[in-house]
């Protein structure tokens, strides 16, 4: 299992990325191939004690930053991201991870690694916490404007991901909406609901119907389907609410001597609470629909987050989620005359 990592993408590149790769090489047995300036990376690896037989470097001196436009994919052919995607396309790596520009990664993965034949759009599928454990949110920003067929495909892809990565058999799929009735929502949600219902009746997915944002978190669903615009707002709102709650809890527990003593007694429980909502524990967000596994790590990922992103990529590759999607494209596509977008 060889995983190529864009060593120049992200706020903490390259040191934390190298650290995460070194941790993963020791723990998982995966081969780690870093792309970036070869001389610089090899010096950092040696100086920080990150040398390992399973670690190698491919020279890619250019870097695509968040300030670059998506055209940089074509203009910076020697960038760490483009070189990594070409290695993936050529079959010289089994998965790719990058914490760099999300737009550049989606564009590059689509143009270089290519979408799975028959998949209309790729989708970002982060794993987020809810009352019953974790759920897959798909899409959260790759495709802002969707057709009902896109949402149908997102539901299938999210289901396979929940099965393979989260270990959930027959995952419950919900369509994010403003009410539970089939008549709720705009034309997109109404049409998507009909398609998802048909897929459920055919035994292809376990669609439980429309679900409101509150219930998706409090009552639980395994796969939450929505367009990228709505999904991104939902995700950022969740992150903001979690941050607000965490800070409020911290202020309360440190507000007096009595509450500080209570915090000391609750230390282990609070650590577990923090871990449950820590994005670093998951590692990254899968970009589903691409012909090879691609993971988007958070821009501020530390070494531990990259370690978990590598474990995640390994599970996705070994679980052959791409194969699941490719084998079932016909069941998640509309007849030629009915295609939209």
Residue intervals in the chain for CATH 3.40.718.10: 1-119+289-341, 123-282
For 162: left if phi > 0, alpha if psi spans -120 to 50, otherwise beta; the answer is: alpha
Long-range contacts of 187-194 (CB under 8 A, 24+ apart): 188/146, 188/147, 188/148, 188/151, 188/227, 191/148, 192/148, 192/151, 192/152, 192/225, 194/148
341: confidence class by pLDDT, cuts 50, 70, 90: very low
Q: Average pLDDT, stretch 324-341?
A: 81
The highest-level CATH class for domain 1-119+289-341 is alpha beta
pLDDT at 146: 98
pTM of the model: 0.93
C-alpha–C-alpha distance, residues 115 and 193, integer Å = 25
pLDDT at 110: 97
pLDDT at 338: 57
Please give the mean pLDDT across all residues of the chain. Answer: 93
Percent of the chain with pLDDT over 90: 82
Residue with tokens 């009746």: 201
CA 15, 16, 22: angle at the middle one, nearest 5? 90
336: confidence class by pLDDT, cuts 50, 70, 90: low
> Of 213-217, 248-252, 255-259, which one has max mean pLDDT?
213-217
pLDDT at 340: 52
Q: Average pLDDT, stretch 199-214?
A: 97
pLDDT at 246: 82
C-alpha–C-alpha distance, residues 239 and 245, integer Å = 10
pLDDT at 158: 98
The highest-level CATH class for domain 123-282 is alpha beta
Comparing 28 with 69, the larger pLDDT belongs to: 28
How confident is the model over 52-90, as pLDDT tens digits?
999 999 999 999 988 888 889 999 999 999 999 999 999
SS (H, E, C) the chain: CEEEEECCCCCCCCHHHHHHHHHHHHHHCCEEEEEECHHHHHHHHHHCCCCCCCEEEEECCECCCCCCCCCHHHHCCCEHHHHHHHHHHCCCCCEEEECCCHHHHHHHHHHHHCECCCCCCCEEECEEEECCEEEEEECCCCCCCCCHHHHHHHHHHHHHHHHHHCCCCCCEEEEECCCCCCCCCCHHHHHHHHHHHHHHHCCCCEEEEEECHHHHHHHHCCEEECCHHHHHHHHHHHHHHHHHHHHHHHHHHCCCHHHHHHHHHCHHHHHHHHHHCCHHHCCEEEEECECCCEEEECCCCCHHHHHHHHHHHHHHHHCCHHHHHHHCHHHHCCCHHHCCC
How confident is the model over 266-323, as pLDDT tens digits?
888 877 777 777 777 788 999 999 999 999 999 999 999 999 999 999 999 999 999 9
How confident is the model over 139-198, as pLDDT tens digits?
999 999 999 999 999 999 999 999 999 999 999 999 999 999 999 999 999 999 999 999
pLDDT at 14: 97
pLDDT at 113: 97
């Amino acid at each position: 299992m060889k995983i190529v990592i864009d060593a120049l993408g992200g706020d903490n590149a390259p040191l934390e990325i190298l650290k995460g790769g070194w941790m993963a090489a020791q723990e998982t047995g995966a081969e780690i191939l870093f792309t970036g300036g070869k001389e610089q990376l090899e010096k950092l690896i040696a100086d920080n004690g990150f040398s390992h037989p399973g670690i190698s470097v491919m020279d890619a001196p250019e870097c695509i930053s968040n300030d670059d436009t998506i055209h940089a994919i074509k203009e910076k052919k020697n960038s760490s991201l483009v070189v990594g995607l070409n290695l993936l396309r050529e079959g010289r790596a089994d998965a790719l991870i990058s914490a760099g520009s999300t737009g550049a990664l989606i564009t590059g993965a689509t143009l270089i690694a290519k979408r799975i034949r028959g998949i209309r759009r790729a989708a970002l599928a982060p794993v987020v916490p809810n009352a019953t454990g974790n759920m897959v949110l798909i899409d959260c920003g790759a495709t802002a404007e969707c057709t009902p067929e896109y949402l149908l495909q997102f539901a299938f892809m999210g289901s396979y991901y929940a099965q393979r990565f989260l270990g959930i058999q027959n995952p419950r799929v919900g369509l994010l909406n403003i009410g539970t009735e089939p008549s709720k929502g705009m034309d997109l949600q109404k049409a998507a609901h009909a398609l998802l219902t048909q897929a459920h009746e055919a035994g292809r997915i376990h669609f439980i119907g429309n679900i409101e944002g509150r219930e998706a978190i409090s009552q639980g669903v395994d796969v939450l389907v929505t367009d990228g615009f709505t999904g991104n707002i939902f995700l950022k709102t969740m992150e903001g609410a979690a941050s607000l709650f965490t800070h409020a809890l911290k202020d309360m527990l440190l507000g007096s001597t009595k509450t500080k003593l209570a915090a000391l007694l609750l230390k282990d429980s609070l650590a577990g609470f923090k871990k449950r909502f820590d994005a670093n524990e998951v590692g990254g967000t899968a970009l589903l629909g691409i012909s090879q596994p691609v993971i988007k790590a958070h821009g501020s990922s530390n070494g531990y987050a990259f370690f978990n992103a590598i474990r995640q990529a390994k599970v996705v590759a070994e679980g052959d989620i791409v194969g699941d999607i490719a084998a079932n494209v016909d069941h998640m596509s509309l007849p030629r005359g009915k295609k939209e977008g």
